[in-house]
């Protein structure tokens, strides 16, 4: 049985407690810098008109990429105990989770979509005539 050095444990705990505020301050600083960086990038690369379709596509592609990564990762690393079938079953669950989580947003956005100057099924005949006239001019 190992005897604990309580004095040593107290000094280590005190050192860790002294480092915690400094680490938290560094994390807050880095988070603020990262958010500022993201705002600058968004300002540079955001088109004049906001396109939710791009957000939907990006989120779905991230779920798809995550599922491919998980399927390959758990197949290659046998130490986790997964077979190839188990790993790709997990990957299919990730894809289905992404599809179901986006389903409501897509259903809400699609009829109102004006991202690509597309006219949905709710367009009035006057709007359709205007679009047809613009296309005829081109």
Evaluate whether residue 91 is within a structural domain: yes
- Do 83 and 23 have their domain in common? no
Q: Retrieve residue 7's tokens.
A: 């004095």
Domain that holds residue 24: 8-46
The H-assigned helical ranges of 3-138 are 6-45, 52-76, 84-109, 125-137
| pTM beyond 0.75 | no
Evaluate whether residue 133 is within a structural domain: yes
- Give per-residue pLDDT as tens, 87-125: 889 899 999 998 998 998 888 888 777 776 655 555 566
- Do 65 and 30 have their domain in common? no
**Is residue 85 over pLDDT 50?**
yes
| CB neighbour class for 71 (10 Å; exposed up to 12, middle 13-18, buried from 19) | buried
First to last CA, the chain: 87
- Do 64 and 126 have their domain in common? yes
Dihedral sign computed on CA atoms, order 20, 39, 110, 58: negative
**Is residue 1 over pLDDT 50?**
no
Query: How many CB atoms sit inside 10 A of residue 63's CB?
Result: 18
- Give per-residue pLDDT as tens, 26-69: 778 888 888 887 777 666 665 556 678 888 888 899 999 999 99
- Do 77 and 18 have their domain in common? no
């Amino acid at each position: 049985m190992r005897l604990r050095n309580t004095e040593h444990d107290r000094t280590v705990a005190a050192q860790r407690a002294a480092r915690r505020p400094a680490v938290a301050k560094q994390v807050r600083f880095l988070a603020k810098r990262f958010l500022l960086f993201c705002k600058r990038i968004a300002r540079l690369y955001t088109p004049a008109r906001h396109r939710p379709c791009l957000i939907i596509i990006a989120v779905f592609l991230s779920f798809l990429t995550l599922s491919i990564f998980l399927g390959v990762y758990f197949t290659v690393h046998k130490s986790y105990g997964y077979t190839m079938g188990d790993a790709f079953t997990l990957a299919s669950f990730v894809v289905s989770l992404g599809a179901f989580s986006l389903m409501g947003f897509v259903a809400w956005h699609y009829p109102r979509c004006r991202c690509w100057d597309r006219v949905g099924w709710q367009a009035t005949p006057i709007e359709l005539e205007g679009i047809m006239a613009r296309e005829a001019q081109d």
